[in-house]
A and B are shown apart, each in its own frame.
Chain A
Amino acid sequence: MIRFEDVYKTYKTGTDALRGVSFKIEDGDFVFIIGKSGSGKSTIMKLITREERPTKGYVLVDRFPISKMHNALVPVLRRQIGMIFQDFRLIESKSVFENVAFAGEIVGMSPKKLSQMVGIVLSIVGLSHKANAMPLELSGGEQQRIAIARAMINDPKLIVADEPTGNLDPQTSESIMALLEQINRNGTTVIVCTHDSNLVDRMKKRVIEVDNGIIVRDECASGYCATPPPEDKISIIQAVSKPSFPNGEDERPAVKLEDI
């Protein structure tokens, strides 16, 4: 669950990016955050990923109070968030397999499990056959699929996508959004930041519109809020692979500083 309560953010330059923003996103929601350039939508994303701290107000992401959490816990938070960017951010010198595996390596996944997980996420995005290709050999849509695979490798609770279709043609954009929707249907919360109004209209999901640092529209009230997934719903990765905890036990330990 993500909660913003009367959040203000003023940058060192004096720019007021957010001015009293409040909203709540439940587990399993699919939410678009839209707005013009400079409206504050990217600041919301930065607060969720703890790239920035709020100047005032309260931000809670899962069990992490963003405003007062210890720096050492930032990596722990980010391991639970899959991030997707407009420019894909793949490492050109690494192959598709290595790019996806990279995120798993960082969290200390064993080579055997890593190889298995990379296979699973590549098959989910439909690019198993491109495992040995280099990023520059792929089309924009394929590169974004690889970025989605990388975001999924640690089986995150939340996927945050910043303009994921910004560099793609409409047809490819549709397929990327369909993939994100498929991921969301299996219980992962998805937040997409975009200015593509056509895409937003077609998806019929909850929309939070930001303008000049304040929320001017939240269509949760209009009926687009997703119903939280049932308690026993499993993520897409667990659906594809064998669940490690068949009884539904939570694999993740409570957040502690000594975990990192």
Chain B
Amino acid sequence: MKFRALLTSTREGIQGIIRHPLVTLASFTTILLMLLLMSVFLLFSANARYITKRVAQQPPIEVYMKLESTQAERDVVISYLDQNNQWIIEYEQRTPEQNYLWFRENLGESASILDNFDYMTYLPYTFHIRLIDPSYADEFGMNMRAIPGVNKVLIESRVMDFLSMTGRWVNIGTFVAFSVLLLIAMFIISNMVRISVYSRSAEISIMKFVGATSGYIRLPYIIEGLFVGMVSAVGAWAIAYFTYQQVFDIMMANVNATSFYALLPIQSLSHWVMIMCLVTGMLIGGLGSAVSVRKYVKV
């Protein structure tokens, strides 16, 4: 297609938007609402995943060695942890003395009762491990228990299961909402094109008779769809950005930014929201128009 023809189609596409302001407004509003909902889901799921991850990582897996465990057995545990570092954020080995000091510290003013405690006899070596993903916990615990010298492995499995399940449901919810909204948007775009094609039927029939190609006839509608999708995307992003900023300011007013429950700042998410809105909006607008116009305009 020649550049001049592309320019003409772009002009026609923009004229189509102006010519049917109510139809354009309807499709713009629908795509905007859809993208806004998607942005809310994206922001929500990003925060849910972020919080889930941080909370899940907090209660570490605790591995208790047998009291009589040898240095060789502890080395096997260390070696296992080093070999599987793709699952692990960090781990720490605590000696009986460190565990003793930790107990004392937790007892505060009552720490004196442990003054004569023979920690080398009664306290084991322990490993405190933080996993990348709580869903690995069960398999990881099973492998650890199989290592000689390991007495028991404590996993906060219920918490981890819940967090893992929440994450999964958030993902499923996002996907379902996205699919339903996508179908609604496609339906409305299809109607937008149908109305637009109907109102320009005389023009289209003339175009066919003077030898316009299918591409030439269809392109203005695709450009119209792309443009509506793009404007809707920018609108949805702007609303999501400023609304989230307000919510963030209110919710984080009394929360420390390093807290487990701190929200992600909008600056770290806004570019993802923008990319998602633009790609989805233009895809829905352009593709929806292309599919519909193919159905209604045949040379």
Interface stretch (choices B123-131, B152-160, B207-215, B235-243): B207-215
Give the residue name and chain of the B residue nearest to A91 (CB).
B203
Tell me, yes or no, whether A89 is within 8 Å of chain B by CB: yes
> In which size bucket is the chain B interface?
10 to 19
Return chain B residues, CB-CB under 8 Å to A107. Answer: 210-211
Selected from B2, B203, B214, the residue in CB contact (under 8 A) with A108 is B2
Q: Is the CB of B213 within 8 A of A260?
A: yes
Tell me, yes or no, whether A5 is within 8 Å of chain B by CB: no
Return chain A residues, CB-CB under 8 Å to B299. Answer: 71, 74-75
Q: Is the CB of B208 within 8 A of A78?
A: yes
Return chain B residues, CB-CB under 8 Å to A102. Answer: 206-207, 210
Return chain A residues, CB-CB under 8 Å to B203. Answer: 91
Tell me, yes or no, whether A106 is within 8 Å of chain B by CB: yes
| Given contact pairs A105-B8, A108-B5, A49 touches B209 in the complex (Cβ within 8 A) | yes
Tell me, yes or no, whether A9 is within 8 Å of chain B by CB: no
Among residues 1 to 47 in chain B, which have CB atoms less than 8 Å away from a CB atom of chain A? 2, 4-5, 8
- A77 CA / B205 CA spacing, docked (Å): 15
A-B contact pairs, 22 of them (CB 8 A): A72-B213, A74-B299, A75-B212, A75-B213, A75-B214, A75-B299, A77-B211, A78-B208, A78-B211, A89-B202, A89-B205, A102-B206, A102-B210, A105-B8, A106-B210, A106-B212, A107-B211, A108-B2, A110-B4, A150-B210, A154-B211, A260-B213
B217 to chain A, nearest CB (A): 9
Return chain B residues, CB-CB under 8 Å to A80. Answer: 211
- A150 CA / B206 CA spacing, docked (Å): 10
Return chain B residues, CB-CB under 8 Å to A154. Answer: 210-211
As a 0/1 sequence over residues 99 to 117 of chain A, the CB contacts with chain B under 8 angstroms (1 = contact) are 0001101111011000000
Task: State the total of A-B contacts with C-beta under 8 angstroms.
Answer: 52
| Given contact pairs A74-B299, A91-B203, A103 touches B4 in the complex (Cβ within 8 A) | no
Query: Which of B2, B203, B213 has most chain A Cβ within 10 Å?
Result: B213
Give the residue name and chain of the B residue nearest to A74 (CB).
B299
Q: Is the CB of A78 within 8 A of B5?
A: no
Return chain B residues, CB-CB under 8 Å to A103. Answer: 206, 210-211
Return chain A residues, CB-CB under 8 Å to B211. Answer: 75-80, 103, 106-107, 154
- A77 CA / B210 CA spacing, docked (Å): 9
Q: Is the CB of A78 within 8 A of B202?
A: no
As a 0/1 sequence over residues 70 to 106 of chain B, the CB contacts with chain A under 8 angstroms (1 = contact) are 0000000000000000000000000000000000000
- A103 CA / B205 CA spacing, docked (Å): 12
Per the CB 8 Å criterion, the residue count for chain A at the interface is 24
Q: Is the CB of A83 within 8 A of B209?
A: yes
Among residues 142 to 169 in chain A, which have CB atoms less than 8 Å away from a CB atom of chain B? 150, 154
Query: Which of B2, B4, B205 has most chain A Cβ within 10 Å?
Result: B4
As a 0/1 sequence over residues 54 to 87 of chain A, the CB contacts with chain B under 8 angstroms (1 = contact) are 0000000000000000011011111110010000
Tell me, yes or no, whether B216 is within 8 Å of chain A by CB: yes
Give the residue name and chain of the A residue nearest to B8 (CB).
A105
Residues of A within 8 A of B (CB): 49, 71-72, 74-80, 83, 89, 91, 102-103, 105-108, 110-111, 150, 154, 260
A234 to chain B, nearest CB (A): 22
Among residues 109 to 152 in chain B, which have CB atoms less than 8 Å away from a CB atom of chain A? none
A107 to chain B, nearest CB (A): 6
| Given contact pairs A106-B216, A110-B4, A91 touches B202 in the complex (Cβ within 8 A) | yes
| Given contact pairs A74-B299, A75-B213, A91-B202, A106 touches B2 in the complex (Cβ within 8 A) | no
Give the residue name and chain of the B residue nearest to A92 (CB).
B202
Query: Which of A75, A77, A102, A260 has most chain B Cβ within 10 Å?
Result: A75
The 9 A-B residue pairs whose C-beta atoms are closest, nearest first, are A79-B211, A78-B211, A103-B210, A75-B211, A106-B212, A75-B213, A83-B209, A108-B2, A91-B203
Query: Which of B5, B202, B210, B214 has most chain A Cβ within 10 Å?
Result: B210
| Given contact pairs A71-B299, A76-B211, A106-B216, A89 touches B206 in the complex (Cβ within 8 A) | yes
A251 to chain B, nearest CB (A): 16
Q: Is the CB of A79 within 8 A of B205?
A: no
Q: Is the CB of B206 within 8 A of A91?
A: yes
Return chain A residues, CB-CB under 8 Å to B208. Answer: 78
- A102 CA / B207 CA spacing, docked (Å): 8
- A49 CA / B205 CA spacing, docked (Å): 13
Give the residue name and chain of the B residue nearest to A85 (CB).
B209
B107 to chain A, nearest CB (A): 86
